Structure 1
């Protein structure tokens, strides 16, 4: 008997100021391209509050603390979350927080901007 374990996750990206199509910005972030985004204090505030409310997001959040050593300005450019199924319960609160900060974004699972 073979048992297969399927791990499913959903990607969500958030930013404040960016040039271009949201889907292309999202795809670029997956490849580490942040040049279409501009830093904004609301993104850094969103990131900080996310981690304060849900510390377990630290393992699924980009840019990671390690990434910020080389590119500290990215903390104010974007937040990319790869949420495993067990964390999708946070999603309504995450979206509400993003609305409070008036962030734009993209859902990879829905393949649409928000």
Structure 2
């Protein structure tokens, strides 16, 4: 026996039951892509890897699992088909709410809007840092998007400061990394260094990261 749960950007469902029926058939073309959905999905799979066999729609983050259905909807909604007795069901609405997503249980007809969750239930686990890599052509895009997440106004002066900054960096030499502050909330330090002999730039983001922000940055690194 199993049951379904759905998660979508808050406020989009005039009729949650009808929307859930449509999503079960992967009819989500009128839902706008939202990076928060991908970030929530990434955290689900990070915290509970077994959900890879219970999550929809299909996305490349499922690795070697055989594709099914549409592959272009992972940034629109998340669906879960869970076995009865799965122990962490009660944690999911709070986690979704931390990403600005509503939760809907079609079995009971209960919709839990993100804004209805009390602040103390929102995700606040701290993360020491996030690391990964991007192609050199995507460094500016990375910094602009992280700046957007933390409310920092990244502009042309920031790009000027980056001109030539990576020329003498080497990701195998800690002292050679270039560090750039993004003075948002929270303030973050983005470390950048070229990987010798390639067009890849290693990235490390340090600061007062909570789980939600860290997962959004991890997802961004995966997508760029």
TM range (shorter): 0.7 to 0.9
Corresponding residue number in structure 2 for 1:44: 38
Shift of 1:98: 0.5
Distance 1:76 1:26 in 2: 16
5 Å matches for 1:55-94?
55-65=49-59, 66-67=67-68, 70-72=70-72, 74-87=73-86, 89-94=87-92
Identify which of 53, 64, 83 aligns with 2:47. 53
Residues 61-103 of structure 1: CA deviation (Å, up to 9, x unaligned): 00123248x533x11100000111142x121222221011120
Aligned CA-pair RMSD: 1.8
Structure number with the bigger relative contact order (C-alpha 8 A, sep ≥ 6) is 1
Distance 2:3 2:13 in 1: 24
Distance 1:62 1:31 in 2: 11
Shift of 1:19: 5.2
Q: Unpaired runs of 5+ in structure 1?
A: 1-7
TM-score relative to the length of structure 2: 0.43
Identify which of 2, 6, 27 aligns with 1:13. 6
Moved more, 42-51 or 90-99: 90-99
Aligned residues: 104
Identify which of 100, 103, 109 aligns with 2:101. 103
Distance 2:82 2:90 in 1: 13
The structure that has the greater radius of gyration is: 2
Give yes or no for contact 1:58–1:64 (8 Å, CA) kept in 2.
Answer: no
Distance 1:80 1:13 in 2: 5
TM-score relative to the length of structure 1: 0.81
